[in-house]
């Protein structure tokens, strides 16, 4: 990566990849340095701002998320959902502002955008605000959009775990478990697997499903896998809306007390 940066010091894809690699090492200073380089090249490119917001999210730092978004708005009056989704996790008035945004404002263009960005992020917001009835509206929308739908292709595993999570969030544990198993099977069928052959699914979402289904120990095992291969930190995971059912459980509280 250092050689690539020497050869292409102002090529955004290389700089973004370097930022991603630094974040996997939880080298936040280097990650921010690469993000700021991206911004200096083109402040209207959302990738640098997104990286700064991600640093805050992975560390559980809402101030850093808000700062990144506020700075970005000075250069990008109408950003895409790449940056706007961070408003959900920024605290203050940003979450309610996101909740009022329409599909057009959020640039919802695909089924994946619709499920992950429009419905799931709004559900996350209301769970975080302690308004489960309002969150349920969006979980019902995910179920309505995906239940019985013929899903296939490389996007199937991801969509199915969001369907599984929606079921788990409204107390339909058996349906959630069924869709989780379908997601695992679909991942294996399309060779989306880890080095050990296990399905390569978003461990954070899977942990949320298991937590909602009353399996805190299994959920924490998923979080350990998540931390082994992602920039997430324990302070960041402590405030994730999808893990709300884990809060207060002995397994999760012990996990949070462990050293980084």
**Within a domain: residue 85?**
yes
158-167: b (≥16 Cβ within 10 Å) or e: bbbbbbbbbb
Q: Tens digits of per-residue pLDDT, 100-144?
A: 999 999 999 999 999 999 999 999 999 999 999 999 999 999 999
**Within a domain: residue 63?**
yes
**Within a domain: residue 70?**
yes
Q: Tell me, letter by letter, the H, E, C secondary structure of 199-253.
A: ECCCHHHHHHHHHHCCCHHHHHHHHHHHHHCCCCCHHHHHCCHHHHHHCCCHHHH
**Within a domain: residue 8?**
yes
Using CB atoms within 10 Å of the CB of residue 66, give its burial: 0 to 12 exposed, 13 to 18 middle, 19+ buried: buried
CA distances from 24 to 20, 30, 231 (A): 6, 11, 5
Check which CATH number belongs to the domain holding 52 and give it.
Answer: 1.25.40.10
> How far is Cα 170 from Cα 140, in angstroms, rounded to an integer?
8
Q: Tens digits of per-residue pLDDT, 42-85?
A: 999 999 999 999 999 999 999 999 999 999 999 999 999 999 99
**Within a domain: residue 32?**
yes
Domain count, the chain: 1
- Residue showing tokens 């924490």: 220
Which pLDDT score, from 0 to 100, does residue 198 have? 87
Q: Tens digits of per-residue pLDDT, 148-196?
A: 999 999 999 999 999 999 999 999 999 999 999 999 999 999 999 988 8
Enter the pTM of the model.
0.94
Question: Would you say residue 254 has pLDDT above 90?
Answer: yes
**Within a domain: residue 180?**
no
- Per-residue pLDDT band for 259 (boundaries 50, 70, 90) equals confident
Which residue segment(s) compose the domain that 75 sits in? 1-96
**Within a domain: residue 27?**
yes
Locate all alpha helices (DSSP H) within 42-155, ordered by sequence.
46-59, 62-75, 81-84, 94-99, 111-112, 121-128, 132-146
């Amino acid at each position: 990566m250092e050689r690539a940066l020497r050869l292409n010091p102002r090529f955004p894809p290389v700089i973004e990849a370097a930022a991603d690699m630094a974040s996997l090492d939880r080298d936040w200073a280097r990650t921010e340095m690469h993000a700021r380089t991206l911004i200096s090249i083109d402040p209207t490119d959302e990738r640098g701002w997104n990286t700064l917001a991600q640093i805050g999210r992975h560390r559980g730092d809402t101030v850093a998320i808000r700062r990144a978004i506020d700075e970005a708005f000075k250069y990008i009056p109408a950003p895409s959902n790449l940056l706007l989704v961070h408003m959900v996790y920024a605290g203050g008035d940003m979450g309610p502002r996101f909740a009022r945004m329409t599909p057009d404002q959020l640039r919802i263009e695909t089924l994946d955008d619709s499920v992950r960005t429009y419905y799931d992020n709004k559900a996350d917001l209301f769970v975080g605000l302690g308004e489960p009835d309002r969150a349920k509206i969006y979980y019902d929308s995910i179920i309505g959009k995906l239940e019985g739908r013929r899903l296939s292709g490389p996007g199937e595993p991801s969509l199915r775990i969001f369907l599984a999570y929606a079921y788990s969030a409204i107390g339909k544990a058996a349906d959630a478990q069924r869709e989780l198993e379908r997601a695992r099977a679909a991942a294996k069928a399309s060779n989306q697997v880890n080095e050990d052959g296990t399905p390569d699914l978003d461990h954070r979402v899977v942990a949320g499903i298991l937590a909602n289904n009353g399996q805190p120990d299994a959920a924490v095992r998923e979080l350990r896998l998540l931390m082994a291969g992602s920039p997430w930190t324990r302070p960041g995971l402590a405030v994730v809306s999808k893990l709300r059912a884990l809060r207060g459980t002995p397994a999760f509280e012990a996990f949070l007390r462990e050293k980084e």
